[in-house]
Structure 1
């Protein structure tokens, strides 16, 4: 049973909503951030970059305190307002390519600990601790975890009932995305939504594994420090955007390696032939079309690699993943990449433009070889989570990518 609760959101004043919300900090180039900070005084980037106006750099707790101070300033100036009652929120994102609609709510850190909210990726401990300290000092979370659930007609109907009413927000951002937000103000609809989620056996993390883990750490620490802990305090929950599986867009990451581990091109191709059938391609862009097939760009040419049926045992759902096959048959044994997270010889690029980026990076001679594969589908992701397994780093690039500062959850 998943516990999904309404909450009192802090959110932008209606007239400023389109100016306040921002993409995740990592999605901007330095030049884009500088332009936003210079030209848009309302951008949420000013909160998470409080040192900009001071022309100084701070780290750790000092910076987190500055973030909180700037956030409180936004509230005092009326840039943010706070809802007087707890609500569920329906949020719809429309892009030129896709559209999705789901529920913004507070999910339970206890459900994450009990594996009702299931993960499919490993987290890095020092990043968990860092964000836990951020939550403790800043006192709010502005970037939702993306959770998903199986198709549910009742929840779809409740959402449809809400979006036929007047929205709180309708605005379009500079990148062509249109955003709509509704409050679920009908108590019967809200209770039906809570009850329907309670009947769902599991939720799955689509994006935001570190935010989930950090929220769970924060909840544990807060419980220890609160002698009157009841389990209903805000710190027991975290900000989430919950959408159905069909609304997810799952893409992959290409892998690029800076050298061939002292092998010549000819030696490298011979080593690959042990486990792969190799075909040259004259195409300027070669995209895999089936599982266990990889496209490789090497020395100005694309190759198609097809895993041979002999010599590899697909023992469980993890070993069947193409990212694992690439790791076990090429990256580790041939190219000497044993630490996928930290080895500086490997880089990852989300596959937004097919293999254009692979070709560009290898042609620039920054990298020697690049690989692309089909991403896992939602059934594979769920199976990994159900078996308590984890995928290799950068196995999925999942959309929608959410905005910061639209609805803020305070502790």
Structure 2
């Protein structure tokens, strides 16, 4: 790769493009070879790309992510010696097709796509290794089978939120939360805010948002949180009405003594069968559904210590360091934890429908737009929760 001239605008050479390249944690805008679509693929001209928390992790924790990739069976991810073009949240315009494609869209059609491509027998996550450059560039290659056209009326900035909102929608679906069960979102960064949007779209009536940042608390309120707390002043576990006697083991046991005593006082009443029937109908007392969106060591253990009995915890935040939790806390409270990652194509397409219908509006999250030359500063600015939530990239800016 050769170093770019630093000029803005379109590519200056045939078969090349400008891209923000990361090598060992440092950004440089370079003139690089433009990717060519292979079998089943199409080439997009990038219109907008979002900066994800995963991009921040990939830049700051390259060694940890590479080691994680080895354990996950993806040995090529974020190798320290690679030149990687990040960016996996994007909307672009159709430029060209590779062989063995259906060519269903005209040139210029706006497209969003799942950031996964297949080269021969190898599958790559777009924007995480040198073989699948991402969208912090003028062009990006996507798989036609995973591509969807953007409906008319959805502008570029909104369409760029399809991928992160699909992550949030998958988390909410995996939570299997009933509309009347309280949801507690711990951490109101971009993914926490996206989850609040999706909880609201799902009709959940009580959404508690907890964050230390005043700016993020205001964004949480704008996204649909019904209760917003500063955890230094108000416990999120006291910010909603607790349904049922699950505040403590002793309260739950006392409830059992009273209830079973009444049932067994009636001769020949099949109290055991009634208990099982009530359980199958969802009458068993439960705690809230908690979305852990921080990803910092110690947070999960704190949640285990504070939540009521029968709480379901959805692990969304990406913690790149080893963490320690007291599993006995979760065991005694029968806390259920479900970790979530990514989404499936139907969830991705459904989010696009939600955006087109207006049921979900991610615009409160959009706090800035930069060009490729502004990426390094944008990554630094995202470390300050009072300045930004979500920054988009316009490669032509």
Does TM, normalized by the shorter one, top 0.5? Answer: no
- The structure showing larger relative contact order (alpha-carbon pairs under 8 Å, at least 6 residues apart) is 1
TM-score under structure 1 normalisation? 0.30
